[in-house]
Amino acid sequence: MSEKIRVLLAKPGLDGHDRGIKVIATAFRDAGFEVIYTGLRQTPEMIVNAAIQEDVDAVGVSILSGAHMTLFPAIKRLLVDRKAGHIILFGGGIIPEEDVKALEAQGIDKLFTPGATTEETVAFVRKAVAGRKDNEKIM
């Protein structure tokens, strides 16, 4: 019946700047998504554990601390290790262009930098999720 898109939004590490992720959470909510917001100071393990339990379609991570080259690959690796590599991983933050390229090459689906609009972000996730297909038989 309903095919609600579920998105987990999280902030990893010791970064308390959560204004951005709250704006994003509100934008996704207003676009009709179910947003699971985990709050601050999450480890990659906590984020991936929550993503699996909540059976989300996408995980969005906000990093403003400069630790993006460590945290994004760590989250991606854990998702793959736990057979949840199908979950879209996107993020945002103050990330230099060469780092964006490097991370996207490592399988992070999309990174948004300052100036990106909420509409772009929502449209990206909607499209990315629609492109997937779940072939596993339930019973």
Partner 1 sequence: MTVLDKFLAGDQSALARIISFIEDREDGYQDLLARLYPKAGTAVRVGFTGPPGAGKSSLVNCLTKLLHSRGKRVSIIAVDPSSPFTGGALLGDRIRLTDLPMDGTIYVRSMATRGSSGGLAAATNNVAIALDAFGFDYILIETVGVGQVELDIVDTCDAVVVTLVPESGDAIQALKAGLMEIADIFAVNKADRPGSKNIIAALEMMLDIKSHKSEWKYPVVPTEAINNKNIDVLFDKIDAFIEYSVRTGYFENHRREQIKKKIISILQYRLNELVKDRLTGMADLDGMVLEIYNGQSDPYTVSDRLFEMSRVK
Footprint of partner 1 (CB under 8 A): 1-4, 6, 25-26, 28-39, 41-42, 45-46, 49-50, 52-55, 82-84, 136-139
74 or 84: whose CB is closer to partner 1? Answer: 84
Provide the 3-class DSSP secondary structure of residue 35.
strand
37 or 77: whose CB is closer to partner 1? Answer: 37
Beta carbon of residue 127, minimum distance to partner 1 (angstroms, whole number): 18
Q: Say if CB 28 and CB 56 are below 8 A apart.
A: no
82 or 99: whose CB is closer to partner 1? Answer: 82
Beta carbon of residue 123, minimum distance to partner 1 (angstroms, whole number): 15
Reduce the secondary structure of 71-114 to three states and give it as a string.
Answer: HHHHHHHHHHHCCCCCCEEEEEECCCHHHHHHHHHCCCCEEECC
85 or 96: whose CB is closer to partner 1? Answer: 85
Beta carbon of residue 97, minimum distance to partner 1 (angstroms, whole number): 32
Cα separation, 127 vs 139, in Å, equals 28
- How far is residue 66 from each of residues 36, 45, 105, 120, measured CA to CA in Å? 24, 19, 18, 23
Beta carbon of residue 108, minimum distance to partner 1 (angstroms, whole number): 21
